[in-house]
Every structure is written in structure tokens, then in C-alpha cells.
Chains A and B, each alone.
Chain A
Amino acid sequence: MNIAASPHATGAQGAAHGGPLRDPLLAVESISLSFGGLKAVSEVSFDIRRGEIRAIIGPNGAGKTSMLNCINGFYHPQEGRITFKGVARRRMKPHEAASQGIARTFQNVALFKGMSTLDNIMTGRALKMRRGFLWQLLRHGPALAEEIEHRKFCEEIIDFLEIEHIRKTPVGKLPYGLQKRVELGRALAMEPDLLLLDEPMAGMNVEEKRDMSRFILDVNRHFGMTIALIEHDMGVVMDLSDRVVVLEYGRKIADGSPDEVKSNQRVIDAYLGVAR
């Protein structure tokens, strides 16, 4: 996959471990979001550094998904601000977030069910394909060349994710684990600067989890992609992430390296509090 060829990706490498604190890719500053009377997120601040895998954990309903929704513009926090690539913003539309380099996957797989794996991943190229629709109407010349070029890129992603055998299959027919993989492929096709993954391994068996972990690590280590990861499986979180932020009832209760977080008393209490 030639994601590595894009300048931002290669240049970002190396910042992951012990990189400079000054220049985070994304900084969230005292974000608050409420729905009616319910505070989903309360005054949360954290940052994501270039090249790292940043885990966001917490019990169900802690506000993790809401946080991602704020970052990619689905929700507009009532207070606080978000700085991405040094530009602070208050409101942003999802497709603006996408065009600035934020891609995501969803907790409940959100694929285009009627379309094939390849077509789903091709939609990830929507922003990279710029020929006007009149050209496409002719399906000729530049538009056709463009189509072919992007298809090749998507085929590389398909190879990388080892899903060649299902490239023509309508994704609605695929088992859940593979759908999650296709969804990752669609996000990768955007060549994002920041990849938001909302429980990419939920509902997977051990083997599928291992595959998915490997893909996430590869994307991060080889292509230098910055990743925010929401995940419940503590083993996975400890293995993959560089730093962890912990939310509970919409508030941040801990932030640090996996080891620090693991031994933090408030975190232990939060998880025992919802122990099943």
C-alpha cells in the first residue's frame, strides 16, 4: 500500500514515542456536550500526538462515542474547543472534518450494505476524486483514468486487509467481523491524518481480534497514521496504545501510559463499579 508515499504519513513517524509535547495533532479543550438535561461529556480535555495510538476507554455510557462524534463534526459541543493541525474551531460539518483528514469507523458498523466491498472502499476516495460530474457522465478521458487509478489504490488496501476473496460481495451479506474490516478499509482509503476507531473489535472472536490488532498496529507503525481507539478489551488496549484517556460519566478520570492508568485507583473503582 502506498499510503506511506504520502508526505504527511512518513514525516509523522518517530513522533509516537516520547515525541514533542508541544505540537499535538489534535487538542480537545474543556469540551462539554449535553442532550437536554443529560451531560454526555463534561469539561474533558486531552490531546493526541502525531503518530501515536491513543486509547479512549471507560464504562458504557461514559461519553466515548460522543467524544468521537464531536471530533468528526457529527455533534457540536456547547462549550470548549477543538484544535486540529493547529487550527482551532467551534463548529465543523462532518464532510469538512473528512476533507481536513479525519476518518472514522462506527461502533455499530455503518457500511453501505447494498454495495460491494470494493465499492464501499471506493467511497473512501470520494474526496480524492475531483473530476466534475459532467466528465463522469461521459465516463471517458480524465474521469475514467481517475477512476482506474483510485481503484488500484483500493485494491492495495484490499490486499493489505486480506479481503481479496470478498471484494465483489455485497457487504450486507458478510459476517460481522469482515464488515468491521471493510469499514476499516473504507477509512484507510481516505488516507486520513487522524483515524478514529470506535470499538473496532466489538463482537469479534479471539482470532479476528488478533487480526484486527495486527492491522491497526501495521497502519500505525508502517504508515505512521495517528489513531484514536475506543476499545473495551483491556488486553488489546494495553498492547496497542501509547497513551490512554479514561472517561466515566462524561468526565475524564485518568490520562497516561497504559501502566499508569492500570494502577490508577479511580480507574479501578470505575471498572469495579460496573463489574458484571
Chain B
Amino acid sequence: MNPLYQIFVDPFVQMAGAPDLFAQTIWEGFVGGMLYALIALGYVLIFKASGVFNFAQGIMMVFAALTLVGLHEMGVHAYIALLLTLGVMYLLAVGVERAVLRPLVNQPDIILFMATFGLTYLLIGAGELVFGGNPKTMIAKELGLPSGGIDFNILGGLVSLQRIDIAAAVIASILVAGLAAFFQYTRVGRALRAVADDHQAALSVGISLNEIWVVVWFAAGVVALATGVMWGARSNVSFALQIVALKALPVLILGGFTSVPGAIVGGLVVGIGEKLGEFYWGPLLGGGIESWLAYVIALAFLLFRPHGLFGEKIIERI
């Protein structure tokens, strides 16, 4: 068969021919996309507040999930464990502010970036030390998360939704909307946007960078916990999970490092694009394209929108 036909026509014929499969694929992409969006949001918040790419975001996700499961294994009730884990993430935020950000303020961004590397290995070490290095099973049931699937007879076929995916999509949406509203309508949110916009002016009105940093790192920790639970429930909890966080990179390339809407839309574009590509175009290449397809999507977008989907034009002053 003609390869051009296979690439440019056949996949769309398949989509139109089996709308149920198409809907199924879109749904799965949407769920993944919401989780990517959530992870990307963690990066965006920290980048806005301190201008640094937080390399440790992925490991924070694993660390949060490990802490949760580990506490439960020690006999703590699941909900108490959840609260305690939130507390641990808050202490982590305070610790990072005290031990990393405060001493390194006014250092070049690259120094801060390297510090997040250090934090990554610190968290790996701490996680292994306290909870051991073996993969664990997420306590999804104990947390009251649903399991099993629901089937819909629509579009001339069967569309099957996993209940855990529905829960993931709902929780991710609530968190994303909540964070967006928090940073839009509250004093701390305004302060964060102020710091991102003009550092000096923010200081001059008495905004305390230290407070903003704690809030932002805590928000990133909450995001890490939520994504850790969701992804953990889909596979299991191990350090390999941090790879998922790297999926946020193409999302950030797409959405821009400072844009909350960009993270949301970018996450969905990457999530859905990835699933569609894998399902309809993957077989042409013998499968396995999921690991790099997201980057191709992001780079293709960059050709047309060099500043990302929502990123403002940055003109360096010289």
C-alpha cells in the first residue's frame, strides 16, 4: 500500500469507521492529559515564583506516594495517612524554603536548578531509607477510590471507562480549577503573580518572597501527592514513576513555563495527541512511539508558535 495513504488517509478512515474506538482513545488521552496538566502546573507555579525549573517535581510525586503507602503499611488509617502526607509535604516546602531558597536567593538561576538536583537525590535517599526500595501497591481502595469499569453502548459499539480514570479526571479537574482560582482571586495568588511579573515592584509593596515560596512549594507538593496517587493506582508506586513527570516537559514547551491555562491546554493536547498517535499511527512504526511522540507534538507546535500556546513574547532587554 502507498505509505502516504497509510499516514495521511487511512488513520482517519479508521477513526470515522469505528467512532466507539475513537471515543475510547480520546477519553484515555483526556485522563492522561489532565494528569499531565496537573504535573505541569506544579512546575509552572514554582517557575513563576522563583524562576527555576524544579527538577525534583517527579521525585516529589514518588516521595508523596511512598509516604502515603508507607504510613498505611505502618498501620495508619488511609485518610489519616493522607492528612499526614499532606503535613509532610508542607514540612518539605518549609524545609526547601529555609535550606535551599533562602540561602541561594540572588544566586544565578542555574545554581538553584542544580539545588533541585540535590533535592531529588535527597528525596530518593530519604524515601528508600524510610520505606525501602521495593515497589508498592497504591492503597486506592482504602482511600475510597473506585475500581472496575463502566461500559457504555454508544456510537455503535462499546466504550468502556475505568472508574479510577473517571475519579482521576474529576479530582485533577477540581485541583486544577481550584489552584487556578486560588491564584486568581486571593492575596497570595495576586502576590505570586506580582512576583512573577516584577520582582522589585513586588518587594517594594512588602510582598514576602519567603511566604510565596512556601505556598508555592506546598502547592507543588499537593499536586505531587495527587498525581502520585492517580498514577500509582494505574501502575504501582516505585521510583520508576518519576518518568511520568518528565512527560510534563513537552507540556511546558507547549504551554509555556509561566502560563496556568497553557499548562492545562498543553496537558490535554499532549495527552490526547499521544493516545491518538499511539493507536492510529503507532502500528505503522511498529509501536512504542508513546515515549517520544509528545516531544514531536510539542516541537511541531513550536514551529508555529515559538513562544508556546499562551506564552507572551519575551523581548530581552539589551
**Which residues of A come within 8 Å of B, CB atoms?**
72, 74, 93-95, 98-99, 103-104, 106, 110-115, 119, 122-127, 129, 131, 133, 136-137, 139, 143, 147, 186-187, 190
Q: Are B200 and A74 in contact (CB under 8 A)?
A: yes
Between A and B, 5 residue pairs with Cβ closer than 8 Å are: A98-B205, A103-B205, A133-B211, A137-B182, A147-B186
Q: Are A139 and B204 in contact (CB under 8 A)?
A: no
CB neighbours (8 Å) of B200 from chain A are 74, 94, 106, 110
Closest partner residue, chain A, to B184 (CB atom): A119
CB neighbours (8 Å) of A95 from chain B are 203, 206-209
Task: Decide if B136 is an interface residue (CB 8 Å cutoff).
Answer: no
Stretch of B10-18, B187-195, B244-252 with 4 or more beta carbons under 8 angstroms from chain A: B187-195
Closest partner residue, chain A, to B206 (CB atom): A98
**Which of B185, B188, B201, B202 meets A133, CB within 8 Å?**
B188
Q: Interface code B159-200, partner A: CB below 8 Å = 1, 0 otherwise?
A: 000000000000000000000011001111111011001101
Q: Are A103 and B197 in contact (CB under 8 A)?
A: no
Q: Are A123 and B207 in contact (CB under 8 A)?
A: yes
Given contacts A133-B215, A147-B186, A190-B205, 6 further A-B contacts (CB under 8 A): A93-B203, A94-B204, A114-B193, A123-B202, A126-B194, A136-B188
Chain A: minimal CB distance from B225 (Å): 15
Complex Cα spacing A24 to B117, Å: 51
Q: Are A104 and B204 in contact (CB under 8 A)?
A: yes
Q: Are B206 and A126 in contact (CB under 8 A)?
A: yes
Q: Are B191 and A126 in contact (CB under 8 A)?
A: yes
Number of interface residues of B (CB under 8 A): 26
CB neighbours (8 Å) of B209 from chain A are 95
**Which of A110, A113, A147 meets B187, CB within 8 Å?**
A147
Q: Are A112 and B193 in contact (CB under 8 A)?
A: yes
Q: Are B197 and A143 in contact (CB under 8 A)?
A: no
CB neighbours (8 Å) of B185 from chain A are 139, 147
Closest partner residue, chain B, to A100 (CB atom): B206
Q: Are A136 and B206 in contact (CB under 8 A)?
A: no
**Which of B186, B188, B197, B206 meets A112, CB within 8 Å?**
B197
**Which residues of B come within 8 Å of A, CB atoms?**
181-182, 185-191, 193-194, 197-198, 200-209, 211, 215, 312
Q: Are B203 and A114 in contact (CB under 8 A)?
A: no
Chain A: minimal CB distance from B314 (Å): 12
Q: Are B186 and A136 in contact (CB under 8 A)?
A: yes
Complex Cα spacing A115 to B187, Å: 13
Q: Are A123 and B182 in contact (CB under 8 A)?
A: no
CB neighbours (8 Å) of B187 from chain A are 122, 125-126, 129, 131, 136, 147
Closest partner residue, chain A, to B218 (CB atom): A133
Complex Cα spacing A147 to B207, Å: 16
Q: Are B194 and A115 in contact (CB under 8 A)?
A: yes
Complex Cα spacing A124 to B187, Å: 10
Complex Cα spacing A245 to B202, Å: 28
Chain B: minimal CB distance from A171 (Å): 10
Q: Are A127 and B206 in contact (CB under 8 A)?
A: yes
Complex Cα spacing A143 to B187, Å: 9
Chain B: minimal CB distance from A116 (Å): 10
Q: Are B186 and A94 in contact (CB under 8 A)?
A: no
CB neighbours (8 Å) of B208 from chain A are 95
Chain B: minimal CB distance from A138 (Å): 10
Q: Are B205 and A106 in contact (CB under 8 A)?
A: no
CB neighbours (8 Å) of B186 from chain A are 133, 136-137, 139, 143, 147
Q: Are A123 and B194 in contact (CB under 8 A)?
A: yes
Chain B: minimal CB distance from A6 (Å): 16
Complex Cα spacing A72 to B201, Å: 11
CB neighbours (8 Å) of A93 from chain B are 203
Chain B: minimal CB distance from A133 (Å): 5
**Which of A98, A106, A119 meets B190, CB within 8 Å?**
A119
**Which of A104, A122, A124, A136 meets B182, CB within 8 Å?**
A136
Q: Are B197 and A190 in contact (CB under 8 A)?
A: no
Q: Are B198 and A112 in contact (CB under 8 A)?
A: yes
Of B181, B202, B204, most buried by chain A (CB within 10 Å of CB) is B204
Q: Are B204 and A98 in contact (CB under 8 A)?
A: yes
CB neighbours (8 Å) of A187 from chain B are 205
Complex Cα spacing A126 to B208, Å: 9
Q: Are B197 and A113 in contact (CB under 8 A)?
A: yes
Complex Cα spacing A226 to B114, Å: 46
Complex Cα spacing A112 to B204, Å: 12
CB neighbours (8 Å) of A133 from chain B are 186, 188, 211, 215
Chain A: minimal CB distance from B30 (Å): 27
Chain B: minimal CB distance from A148 (Å): 12
Q: Are B205 and A124 in contact (CB under 8 A)?
A: yes
Closest partner residue, chain B, to A137 (CB atom): B182
**Which of B181, B201, B203, B206 meets A111, CB within 8 Å?**
B201
Complex Cα spacing A187 to B206, Å: 11
Closest partner residue, chain B, to A189 (CB atom): B205
Complex Cα spacing A189 to B224, Å: 37
Chain B: minimal CB distance from A197 (Å): 12
Complex Cα spacing A136 to B183, Å: 10
